[in-house]
């Protein structure tokens, strides 16, 4: 028999992403709307183990939907990767009356949620990562804000690059996934896009492309480089030495994580947070919320973690075609 959930906890874990506050707000208000109590767990799994847990009301999430970051805070927690840490986390949830938990984060956060579900805490994952690297979903909280932030910054770099007739290597986030680089490469009209999934580390190909475009009269050359490839500064030195074209590296860094979330991130994060609450109220556990084919849906966490994801082949083909 499915147990009735009375108190729902919510935490954010791993890297922060704009839109997480919208998801937190939705969890709190939808749970209260459904007649449940809500407890906020601060600083992720680390805060859970340290019992940084507070009751939350609808007023606690007022005026948060437009804010970047996460009002609950986040932290890495090596202890929670151990069996002892996971058991302690489940015991602390039970001690505070938390019988349902919403975990907002990425794959690592879901692995923790999976362990808590096995220990009797009904747990739902909500995908929050700017990298869009969770295989079961076509949308993750924070990606839309990140690509818009990066796109606007790259537009500005392009302006000065054109004025000085430079080559610019602009490094965006994406350690294992090139979605930010790919989207910005298309949106910013980059001449080259370097992503972990496709790059062959042939710098001579880049050099030849720069020289060919310069002969055709192009006054700038934009290379979007994902951080998983990295080494943008040393790459810039080598390209300048080989081409004679002044080459600068710009690393956008953590600015891509922050800022007021876009409309899409606010709305989709709100929908996902509310959906997670509805799953808990229906007695579900060990699920992750996703977005596919225009609908919000959910998957078994075990299956979600086992899925593989690659860049859309046609999108990559279009990116290459438009860069000529």
CA distances 74 to 11, 104, 120, Å, are 8, 10, 24
131 is an active site residue: yes
Instruction: Check whether 220 is labelled as a binding-site residue.
Output: yes
Sheet holding 221-226, edge to edge: 192-194, 221-226, 167-172, 247-251
Instruction: Check whether 214 is labelled as a binding-site residue.
Output: no
Report CA Rg, the chain: 22
Instruction: Check whether 174 is labelled as a binding-site residue.
Output: yes
Instruction: Check whether 158 is labelled as a binding-site residue.
Output: yes
Instruction: Check whether 256 is labelled as a binding-site residue.
Output: yes
Triad 249, 253, 258: Cα angle to 5°: 145
Instruction: Check whether 300 is labelled as a binding-site residue.
Output: no
Instruction: Check whether 254 is labelled as a binding-site residue.
Output: yes
Q: Which of 131, 93, 132 is CA-nearest to residue 112?
A: 93
Catalytic residue among 16, 99, 131, 192: 131
Collect all residues with Cβ–Cβ distance below 8 Å to 73 and sequence separation of at least 6.
12, 42, 43, 44, 47
Instruction: Check whether 212 is labelled as a binding-site residue.
Output: no
Instruction: Check whether 190 is labelled as a binding-site residue.
Output: yes
Instruction: Check whether 99 is labelled as a binding-site residue.
Output: no
The answer to whether 148 touches 262, Cβ cutoff 8 Å, is yes
Joined tokens for residue 250: 């710009």
Which residues are part of a known binding site for ATP?
15, 76-77, 106-109
Which residues are part of a known binding site for substrate?
129-131, 166, 173-175, 227, 248, 254-257
Residues belonging to the active site: 131
Which residues are part of a known binding site for Mg(2+)?
107
Which residues are part of a known binding site for ADP?
25-29, 158, 189-191, 216, 218-220
Which residues are part of a known binding site?
15, 25-29, 76-77, 106-109, 129-131, 158, 166, 173-175, 189-191, 216, 218-220, 227, 248, 254-257
């Amino acid at each position: 028999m499915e147990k009735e959930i009375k108190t729902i906890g919510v935490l954010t874990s791993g890297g922060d992403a704009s839109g997480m506050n919208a998801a937190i707000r939705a969890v709190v208000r939808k749970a209260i709307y459904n007649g449940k109590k809500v407890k906020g767990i601060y600083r992720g799994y680390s805060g859970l183990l340290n019992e940084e847990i507070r009751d939350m009301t609808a007023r606690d999430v007022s005026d948060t939907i437009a804010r970047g970051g996460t009002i609950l805070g986040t932290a890495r927690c090596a202890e929670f990767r151990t069996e002892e840490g996971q058991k302690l986390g489940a015991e602390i949830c039970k001690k505070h009356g938390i019988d349902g938990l919403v975990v907002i984060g990425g794959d690592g956060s879901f692995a923790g949620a999976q362990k808590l579900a096995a220990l009797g805490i009904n747990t739902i994952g909500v995908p929050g990562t700017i990298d869009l690297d969770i295989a079961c979903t076509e949308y993750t909280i924070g990606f839309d804000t990140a690509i818009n932030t990066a796109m606007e910054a790259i537009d500005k770099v392009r302006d000065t690059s054109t004025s000085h007739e430079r080559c610019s290597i602009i490094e965006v986030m994406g350690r294992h996934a090139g979605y930010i680089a790919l989207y910005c490469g298309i949106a910013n009209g980059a001449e080259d896009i370097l992503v972990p999934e496709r790059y062959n580390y042939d710098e001579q190909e880049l050099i030849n492309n720069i020289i060919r475009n310069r002969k055709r009269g192009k006054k700038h050359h934009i290379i979007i480089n994902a951080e998983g490839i990295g080494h943008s500064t040393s790459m810039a030195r080598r390209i300048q030495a080989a081409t004679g074209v002044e080459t600068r590296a710009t690393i956008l860094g953590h600015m891509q994580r922050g800022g007021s979330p876009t409309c899409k991130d606010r709305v989709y994060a709100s929908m996902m947070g509310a959906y997670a609450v509805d799953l808990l109220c229906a007695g579900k556990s060990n699920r992750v919320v996703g977005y596919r084919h225009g609908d919000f849906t959910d998957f078994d966490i075990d299956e979600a973690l086992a899925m593989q994801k690659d860049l859309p082949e046609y999108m990559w083909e279009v990116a290459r075609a438009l860069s000529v």
